[in-house]
Amino acid sequence: MKFINYKGVINYSISMIDMEVIHDAVGAGEEECVLFLEHSCLYSVGKSYEVSDFVGNVHYKVYYTTRGGRITVHNIGQCVVYPIINLKQRNLNVHQYVTILEDWMIDAIARVGIVARRSDLGVGVWIDDAKVGFIGIRVTQGIATHGMCINVCNDLSPFDEIVPCGLKGVKVTSVSHALERSVTVQEFVEALQNCCPL
């Protein structure tokens, strides 16, 4: 398993190209990878998106993707994680893989000092009654792409323009806000890498 830590803020379209190149390489038998990065503020829209997922005026670029799920925010201070994993070779189904990703986020959040959990409201990870971790994946030819993101120290106001994950009335939080101290994305990436289950 190779970790790739992108430096600085990465253009979303470029990261999608990188992901597809690595997808094809993993399919050809090369090493699986996990990409760790940040994006400038944008809305990532999944295949289950509905028009009502936008509320009010939209002030940031919208990217329509091929991943599962509905709509979320990416912005600076959020840790975005794209594992490119051969699920077929690992004999994992989508449900099992999503559970692994949720557990990974929960473990990493615990390492920086706070308890997170799953919720009956939907896929992802929560601190108390607010969502902090989001999952949206795509599986083609047995290989998973896209992945998960965790609000670490990002501005949460862009979430006000959407219905996050299609969950009306849902609260969102960040690790830093919940801890009442600053946690950097780099600190959180290290926590993720130190407890990676893949």
Find where tokens 């599962």 sit: 68
Q: Determine the residue type at 56.
A: G
Cα-only R_g, the chain: 16
120: which DSSP letter?
T
Q: Which residues contact 26 (CB under 8 A, 6 or more apart)?
A: 32, 33, 84, 85, 86, 143
H or E element, residue 15:
helix 12-27
The residues pairing with 18 across neighbouring beta strands, listed in sequence order, are none
pLDDT of the residue at 168: 83
Instruction: Copy the structure tokens of residue 171.
Output: 């609260």
Q: Is the pLDDT of residue 166 over 80?
A: no
Kindly report, residue by residue over 92-105, the tens digit of the pLDDT: 999 999 999 999 99
User: Domain boundaries in the chain?
Assistant: 2-194
- Residue 108: its pLDDT value, please? 98
What tens digit of pLDDT does each residue of 117-155 get? 999 989 999 999 999 999 999 999 999 999 999 999 999
Rounded Cα gap, residues 106 and 88, in angstroms: 25
pLDDT tens figures, 31-83: 999 999 999 999 999 989 888 888 978 889 999 999 999 899 999 999 999 99
Question: What DSSP character marks residue 66?
Answer: S
Written out in words, the top-level CATH class of the domain with range 2-194 is alpha beta
Q: Catalytic residue numbers?
A: 165
What are the E-state strand segments in the chain?
Answer: 2-9, 33-38, 42-45, 61-64, 71-74, 78-86, 117-119, 122-127, 130-140, 143-151, 171-172
